[in-house]
Amino acid sequence: MLSILFSNQLEVMYPEIFLGLVAFGMLLLGRSVRNPAVYTYITMAALFIGLLLLLMFDMGTETLYGGAYLVNNFGLYFAVIMIISSLYVTYSAGATLKSNPESFFSLFLLVNVAMIIAAFSMNLIFIFIAFEGVSIGTYIMSAYGKSRRNLEAAAKYFFTGIIATGFILLGSSYYYLSTGTFNLESVSISKGPMLVALILLFVGFGFKLALVPLHQWAVDAYDGTSNPVSAFLSSGTKILAFLIILRVFIVGFQNFQGDVFDLFVIVSIITMTYGNLAALSEKNIKRMFAYSSIAQAGYLILVVAATSAAEATTFVFTVAIFTAMYYSLVYIFMKGGAFLSVSAVRKESVDIDDMSGIGVVSPAFAISLTILMLSLAGIPPTAGFFAKYYLFLALISSNLWWLAVIGILNSAISVFYYLRVIVVMFRKDGIQRDFDTSARVLAPLVLAAIISLVLSLFIFAYPQVSSLVTGLGVSI
Amino acid sequence: MFIVYIFILLLIMTLVSFVVKRSAHKVATVESVIILFLTSIYAYLRFYSYAGGMMSVASFPIDTSIGISFLVGVTPVSLALLFLTTVIMAMAIFVSGRESYDRRFYGLMMATEAGLYGLLISRNFLFFYVFWEAIIIPVFLLIALFGGKNREMASLKFFVYTQLGSVFLLLSILTLFSFYNTSYHHGFTLNMGKLLSTAFINGYITSAQPFWTDFILFGFFFAFLVKMPSFPLHSWLPDAYTSAPYPVTIVLSGAISLMGGYGFYAVIYPIAGTIGFVAAWIILLLGIISLVYFALVAMFQENMKKMISYASAASMGFISISLGVGILSSGYNTYTSITGGVFQILAHGLIMGLIFSSLYIIKLNTGSESTLTVRGLFREMPIVSAFFLGGLMASLGLPGLAGFIAEASIVLSSYSTLGMIIFFVIFGMIITASYHIWAAQKSLNGPYNEFLGSIRDGTRGEIAALSLMFVLILALGIYPAIFYHMIFIYVKGGI
């Protein structure tokens, strides 16, 4: 009986089991303890232990459940990133919470359980279930808080999310119909149903990554929810959606690379351009960040375009997947920090102009946000630049100069709206002085800024990290 | 290695400037003078025994599996520009003393200098690009934080324009890197010396896919012409130069504009063999158009700061002319033209430093920079006015001053290529001369504008700094060989 606890099958699940147990324990505790700080610290401790458990039990390579669950260092890397992104927002989330902290945080931990499972899944059903776990948790999290705006945002997120779920299920069925398996592997079969599956799955997962034209929910949801939740939605869950897109479309559709390429190129061009142009004219800072994260999603999926290009070599593949790994890591801090910074303004709906004068009140805040904006715009010596550097290197190496030019023109446009925030922050006249620059707001921001600078040293790790890319599950 | 130590010292000094609590101005001045001193000693020692090739080569590997290493090397071209950078920065920091700027200002100034230093010594393309971009950030912040009216728009425009240029630079670098790996050596390198080789580009890119060569050249030219700035890509210039506070304007015109020129001679000239006849003529004509057009625009400016900004852009037109001529002609003409171009960057930087510094002092004392208000200044501020006049004379190319040497060698060597078109160059020079003299006549000579009241001349320190600058310009005009000779040897030896 006990031996099953120590079998391979279960050992890799220890982090998930641990986090799940803590989550249920917290629900029980909720009957007696009402102080949000307690739950914040429990959650942080649990996530930290979960991280350690991940590193202890999920190192190495193992294939379980008939190929459905692939434990390796590539998946581990993303699982760790997602846990870190959760850890990053936990403290701020606890500080803004007003009621029922126990259910919020237990949901939060359950979302993390689902994210870890999704990071290792190589099977469409596994992915679907884990993904739903994340989605349902985040629906409730975004509805937290009782204002009308919260509820409106959550309702929009929920209804569009449900539709996406339907698409994923239908797409998975078509995938099964044509391949006879839910596992993501190399299959050679007729084209027809597979293309239907491609489109349906793309629509379903594209919803979550907020690709144009499936993006509108993201703008409203990020705008309406509390800042820590939007930070989490736009970092952790977005990276998860990105990882799943990598898995499904690079591994699952490896014999349809031409179609994948066409689809991703078109959508990424539209997404980048639309996101950037919409952000240019946006006055509300959270909506502006939302559009910018749509544009960033456009850059992210260029990775898929590079790997599925006709002239993609092993080198291109390695650099592209390395980009995906690096960009994801940088992204959670850039975007998470940007969304959390909005808390400095004590208002429901914050315009960019409301930031004016914060450079006078708190130089540390202004400098940190400046670094984040430069990193988002992809300007050296920040980590955001090196992430883009590898991305464009992959594109150029696979002979996609035109795509690189479009991407780079987009990144030049984006500079404009990122820098506008900087300029406004350092305004000297006609400014207000009522900002919340307590440690609660400042600490995560400064941390993100420091990390965005330090991560530029990640280029040192290229040899080690690039050796993980085979773990994606495709032989190159 | 010595140059790397100076660079590290400069980085430490930048941090010190950011954190020092009191007397930020004094600290920054001392720091920049120390850097100037060390760089001058280094330059002297190197030039004293120069025999060609690259100096002070050192390599610090970072990630060799993908070609990234901090590779350092200095050529006479970069050394001359290093000298210029340090002079200009010391000057700009020193003259800013009368306005009470805080440590942020001086920290950003030192950061700009560090960026320029890094750009000029690095021979690895990744670091070249990183420093290229890293310079823009402090300058952008300097304009955005300390600029005059309209500073938000001006700083954004400056950043977006130069960013647009540099992203194309990045694409060109990546393309070279990629081709080097796939078709040439099957290895990864970002070494500028290896990537910028005519044999590699002509043999492996142009012969296989001519499009890519054009793509690379376009990226390089676009980035450098924006920075220069050259004719159609200049619209950031008047905003940035006039909105920036004076010390930053000195840096913009003296040190930031050298980036475009340095790109021309360090990046494009080594691969001149890949540039076609048409492209070379386009560069040449852009230079001539810039010269004439900016001179004409400058002529109608009442604001002297704006006028000098356009004058600065006009004389950068000579850089494009020199590169175009250098590509199109051969032998002695090429050497003279290229050397003249490098010398022009140096002379232009020093002259602009002198003019903007003395104009800054005039602005501080009179409160105006318009030729309508500032009139007959010789009566009240004879010494600063004299240096202002000296700067204007040097800028219009008066023999005996540094500007003349550069313009003369470019014009002389370009006759065989340009033929009768040289008339336009001469035309541009005549207009330049006319509005310089005009401005001097209106602002310095004639009856004094009594509404300005009684004003003081510059302080002793300012006059000392201005005179050092002027002596430097004079020395380079009378005995240009100090720099000219080494640059010529280097150019002749093949870059």
CA distances to A112, B356, B375, B387, B410 from B382, rounded to whole Å, are 75, 17, 13, 9, 34
pLDDT of A475 strictly over 70: no
Task: Tell me the pLDDT of chain B averaged across its residues.
Answer: 86
Are residues B137 and A396, on separate chains, in Cβ contact within 8 Å? no
Say if CB B190 and CB B173 are below 8 A apart: yes
Say if CB A199 and CB A172 are below 8 A apart: no
For residue B454, the 8-state DSSP code is S
For residues A114-139, one letter each, b for 16 or more C-beta atoms within 10 angstroms of the residue's C-beta and e for the rest, the string is: bbbbbbbbbbbebbbebbbbbbbbbb
> Cα(A228)–Cα(A221) distance, rounded to whole angstroms?
12
> What pLDDT is recorded for position B271?
86
Are residues B141 and A426, on separate chains, in Cβ contact within 8 Å? yes
Are residues A462 and B167, on separate chains, in Cβ contact within 8 Å? no
Mean pLDDT of A78-85: 92
Task: Tell me the pLDDT of chain A averaged across its residues.
Answer: 86
Mean pLDDT of A61-81: 85
pLDDT tens digits, B318-364: 999 999 898 888 888 888 899 999 999 999 999 999 999 998 988 88
> What pLDDT is recorded for position A295?
92
The beta-carbon neighbor of B171 closest among A404, A420, A462 is A404
pLDDT tens digits, B473-489: 999 889 888 888 888 88
Query: Does residue A100 belong to any structural domain of this protein?
Result: yes
For residues A89-110, one letter each, b for 16 or more C-beta atoms within 10 angstroms of the residue's C-beta and e for the rest, the string is: bbbbbbbbbeeebbbbbbbbbb
Are residues A397 and B137, on separate chains, in Cβ contact within 8 Å? no
pLDDT tens digits, B353-381: 999 999 898 888 888 888 777 787 788 88
pLDDT band, very low/low/confident/very high, at B186 (cuts 50, 70, 90): low
Say if CB B250 and CB B152 are below 8 A apart: no
Query: Does residue B315 belong to any structural domain of this protein?
Result: yes
Are residues B156 and A420, on separate chains, in Cβ contact within 8 Å? yes
Query: Does residue A6 belong to any structural domain of this protein?
Result: no
Q: Which domain holds residue B493?
A: 276-495
Q: Which domain holds residue A325?
A: 18-470
Query: Does residue B263 belong to any structural domain of this protein?
Result: no
Residue B41's identity, in one-letter code, is I
The interface predicted TM-score of the complex, written ipTM, equals 0.81
Query: Does residue B111 belong to any structural domain of this protein?
Result: no
Report how many Cβ contacts below 8 Å link chain A to chain B: 89
> What pLDDT is recorded for position B99?
83
> What pLDDT is recorded for position A476?
53
- Strand B55-63 to strand A69-71: parallel, antiparallel, or no bridges (unpaired)? unpaired
Are residues A374 and B137, on separate chains, in Cβ contact within 8 Å? yes
Mean pLDDT of A15-19: 90
pLDDT of A114 strictly over 90: yes
Shortest CA gap A456–chain B (Å):
11
How large is the greatest C-alpha to C-alpha distance in chain B, in angstroms? 74
Chain centre distance of CA B98: 25
Mean pLDDT of B30-45: 85
> Cα(B414)–Cα(B428) distance, rounded to whole angstroms?
15
Are residues A422 and B144, on separate chains, in Cβ contact within 8 Å? yes
pLDDT tens digits, A405-461: 898 888 888 888 898 888 888 887 767 777 888 888 888 899 999 999 998 888 778
Lowest mean pLDDT among A281-290, A315-324, B229-238: B229-238
Lowest mean pLDDT among A345-354, B218-227, B446-455: B446-455
Q: Which residue has the higher pLDDT, B225 or B208?
A: B225
B15–chain A Cβ distance below 8 A for any pair: no
pLDDT of B96 strictly over 60: yes
pLDDT band, very low/low/confident/very high, at A331 (cuts 50, 70, 90): very high
Shortest CA gap B116–chain A (Å):
14
CA distances to A461, B174, B178 from B66, rounded to whole Å, are 11, 12, 11
> What pLDDT is recorded for position B354?
92
B66–chain A Cβ distance below 8 A for any pair: yes
Residue B289: CB atoms within 10 A of its CB come to 17
Are residues B178 and A313, on separate chains, in Cβ contact within 8 Å? no
> Cα(B478)–Cα(B92) distance, rounded to whole angstroms?
25
B125–chain A Cβ distance below 8 A for any pair: no
Tell the burial category of A325 from Cβ atoms under 10 Å away from its Cβ (0-12, 13-18, 19+): buried
> What pLDDT is recorded for position A151?
84
pLDDT tens digits, B289-315: 999 999 999 888 888 888 889 988 888
pLDDT band, very low/low/confident/very high, at B494 (cuts 50, 70, 90): low
Look up tokens 């691969």; give the residue. Answer: B271
- Measured between its terminal Cα atoms, the distance across chain A in Å is 42
Instruction: Kindly report the backbone phi and psi dihedral angles of residue A108, in degrees, each rounded to the nearest multiple of 5, phi listed first.
Output: -60, -45
> What pLDDT is recorded for position A451?
92
- Measured between its terminal Cα atoms, the distance across chain B in Å is 21
Extract the tokens encoding B130.
Answer: 């990183």
B interface test, pick of A406, A408, A413 with most B CB neighbours within 10 Å: A408
B433–chain A Cβ distance below 8 A for any pair: no
Extract the tokens encoding B289.
Answer: 């158009």
pLDDT band, very low/low/confident/very high, at A240 (cuts 50, 70, 90): very high
Are residues A401 and B212, on separate chains, in Cβ contact within 8 Å? yes
Chain A residues with beta carbon closer than 8 angstroms to that of B15: none
Q: Is B59 helix (H, G, I), strand (E, B) or coil?
A: strand
Query: Does residue B89 belong to any structural domain of this protein?
Result: no
Percent share of chain B, pLDDT over 70: 99
> Cα(A341)–Cα(A424) distance, rounded to whole angstroms?
14
pLDDT of B53 strictly over 80: no
Sign of CA dihedral B250, B252, B256, B260: negative
Sign of CA dihedral B463, B468, B469, B471: positive
Chain A residues with beta carbon closer than 8 angstroms to that of B159: 415, 419
> What pLDDT is recorded for position A1?
59
Q: What is the dihedral of CA A356, A360, A364, A368, to 10 degrees?
A: 30
Q: What is the 3-state secondary structure (H, E, C) of chain A?
A: CHHHHHCHHHHCCHHHHHHHHHHHHHHHHCCCCCCHHHHHHHHHHHHHHHHHHHHHHCCCCEEECCCCEEECHHHHHHHHHHHHHHHHHHHHHHHHCCCCHHHHHHHHHHHHHHHHHHHHECEHHHHHHHHHHHHHHHHHHHHCCCCHHHHHHHHHHHHHHHHHHHHHHHHHHHHHHHHCCCECCCCCCCCHHHHHHHHHHHHHHHHHHCCCCCCHHHHHHHHHCCHHHHHHHHHHHHHHHHHHHHHHHHHHCCCCHHHHHHHHHHHHHHHHHHHHHHHHCCCEHHHHHHHHHHHHHHHHHHHHHHHCCCCCCHHHHHHHHHHHHHHHHHHHHHHHHHHHHHHHECCCCCEHHHHCCHHHHCHHHHHHHHHHHHHHHCCCCCHHHHHHHHHHHHHHHCCCHHHHHHHHHHHHHHHHHHHHHHHHHCCCCCCCCCECCCHHHHHHHHHHHHHHHHHHHHHHHHHHHHCCHHHHCCCC
> What pLDDT is recorded for position A272?
92
B171–chain A Cβ distance below 8 A for any pair: yes
> What pLDDT is recorded for position A188?
65
Residue B12's identity, in one-letter code, is I
Q: Which residue has the higher pLDDT, B180 or A119?
A: A119
Nearest CA to B220 out of B273, B166, B270, B278 is that of B166
Query: Does residue B6 belong to any structural domain of this protein?
Result: no
Q: What is the dihedral of CA A323, A329, A330, A333, to 10 degrees?
A: 160
Say if CB A291 and CB A279 are below 8 A apart: yes
The beta-carbon neighbor of A423 closest among B155, B168, B171 is B155
> What pLDDT is recorded for position A190?
66
pLDDT band, very low/low/confident/very high, at B126 (cuts 50, 70, 90): confident
Give how many domains chain B has, as a whole number: 1
Give how many domains chain A has, as a whole number: 1
Query: Does residue B216 belong to any structural domain of this protein?
Result: no
| Helix intervals (H) in B49-150 | 76-95, 103-121, 125-146
Mean pLDDT of A33-38: 84
Residue A448's identity, in one-letter code, is A
The helix (H) or strand (E) run that includes residue B74 is: strand B68-74
pLDDT of B396 strictly over 90: no
Query: Does residue B306 belong to any structural domain of this protein?
Result: yes
> Cα(B495)–Cα(B480) distance, rounded to whole angstroms?
21
For residue B191, the 8-state DSSP code is B
> What pLDDT is recorded for position A448?
92
The helix (H) or strand (E) run that includes residue B431 is: helix B422-444
Look up tokens 């456009």; give the residue. Answer: A298
Q: pTM, whole model, 2 decimals?
A: 0.87
Q: Is B58 helix (H, G, I), strand (E, B) or coil?
A: strand
B174–chain A Cβ distance below 8 A for any pair: yes
Chain B residues with beta carbon closer than 8 angstroms to that of A416: 156, 160
pLDDT tens digits, A88-97: 998 888 888 7
Residue B164: CB atoms within 10 A of its CB come to 20
Nearest CA to A231 out of A444, A76, A387, A410 is that of A444
pLDDT tens digits, B212-253: 888 888 999 999 998 888 888 888 888 888 888 889 999 998
pLDDT of B446 strictly over 90: no
Are residues A396 and B175, on separate chains, in Cβ contact within 8 Å? yes
> Cα(B116)–Cα(A261) distance, rounded to whole angstroms?
41
Are residues A401 and B167, on separate chains, in Cβ contact within 8 Å? no
